[in-house]
């Protein structure tokens, strides 16, 4: 979404002109809104210093911030002991409970996938019927890309970075990259997360996230390679991943 450069103790994110990416202003707004929201909630994130746009041959939006100093989640977990990882999992659960709440409209509009038919007409029918009886709140704040490189472990604190993919969506969509990619089957992280993340049914929430995300078809194919794919089969894989 942006080119990022380090300038002394600061970083600058420069967004491509609208001639290249039509939604570039929305991605800029998402970055700015996300950093401001994190500061307002007193959650760990880069500190926003300045934001705006400049004219050259084209118009470029930019955000200047003081980055977090620390290790990515992936780097931290490579050497951390089980207790440290479970503690971090609890911090992540607490953070998302505070962060994924309702917000006014901002940033890019959540995209809808057009590739569900690649999973077969039976799965499409199952998905439609399941979503009809499981309602969600669609205007909650989600970071959108909680992979291991975007969670930063600082000295005694957890932080998030890179908010250009942030948008309004159901909070369940946030769980997909976090649990399936960032946690990378780490049982200590998952155990700590379960202790503090507020939900009545984590398995159902993760399935909802998969069925609602624009990359849902690809995520499901990665979970359950081969055909045919059924909703029951996906639920079984989710239960195994969360056990």
Residue 167: pLDDT band with limits 50, 70, 90 = very high
Query: What whole-number percentage of the chain has pLDDT above 70?
Result: 100
- Average pLDDT, stretch 205-225? 95
Q: How far is CA 23 from the centre of its chain?
A: 19
Smallest CA-to-CA distance from 209 within 100, 120, 94 is with 100
Q: What is the pLDDT of residue 43?
A: 96
What are 54's two structure tokens?
A: 């400049």
Residue 112: pLDDT band with limits 50, 70, 90 = confident
- Residue 116 CA to residue 125 CA, distance in Å, equals 10
Q: What is the pLDDT of residue 51?
A: 97
Beta strands in the chain (DSSP E): 3-7, 10-14, 47-55, 59-66, 71-72, 140-142, 151-154, 157-160, 167-169
Give the DSSP letter string of 139-201: TEEE-S---GGGEEEETTEEEE---TT-EEE-GGGGHHHIIIIISTT-HHHHHHHHHHS--S-
- Average pLDDT, stretch 226-232? 87
- Average pLDDT, stretch 154-163? 90
């Amino acid at each position: 979404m942006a080119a990022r450069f380090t300038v002394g103790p600061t970083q600058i994110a420069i967004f491509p002109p609208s001639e290249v990416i039509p939604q570039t202003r929305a991605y800029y707004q998402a970055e700015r809104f996300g950093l401001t929201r994190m500061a307002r909630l007193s959650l760990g994130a880069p500190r926003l210093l300045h934001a705006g746009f400049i004219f050259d041959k084209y118009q470029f939006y930019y955000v200047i911030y003081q980055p977090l100093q620390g290790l990515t989640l992936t780097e931290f977990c490579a050497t951390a002991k089980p207790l440290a990882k479970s503690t971090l999992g609890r911090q992540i659960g607490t953070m998302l409970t505070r962060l994924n709440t309702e917000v006014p409209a901002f940033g890019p509009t959540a995209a809808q996938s057009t590739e569900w038919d690649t999973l077969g007409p039976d799965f499409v029918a199952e998905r439609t019927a399941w979503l009809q009886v499981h309602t969600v709140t669609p205007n909650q704040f989600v970071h959108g890309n909680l992979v291991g490189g975007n969670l930063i472990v600082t000295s005694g604190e957890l932080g998030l970075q890179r908010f250009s993919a942030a948008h309004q969506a159901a909070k369940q969509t946030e769980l997909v990259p976090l649990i399936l990619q960032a946690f990378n089957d780490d049982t200590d992280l998952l155990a700590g997360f379960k202790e503090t993340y507020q939900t009545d049914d984590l398995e159902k929430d993760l399935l909802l996230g998969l069925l609602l995300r624009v990359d849902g078809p690809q995520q499901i194919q990665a979970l359950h390679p081969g055909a045919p794919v059924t909703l029951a089969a996906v639920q079984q894989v989710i239960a195994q991943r969360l056990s």
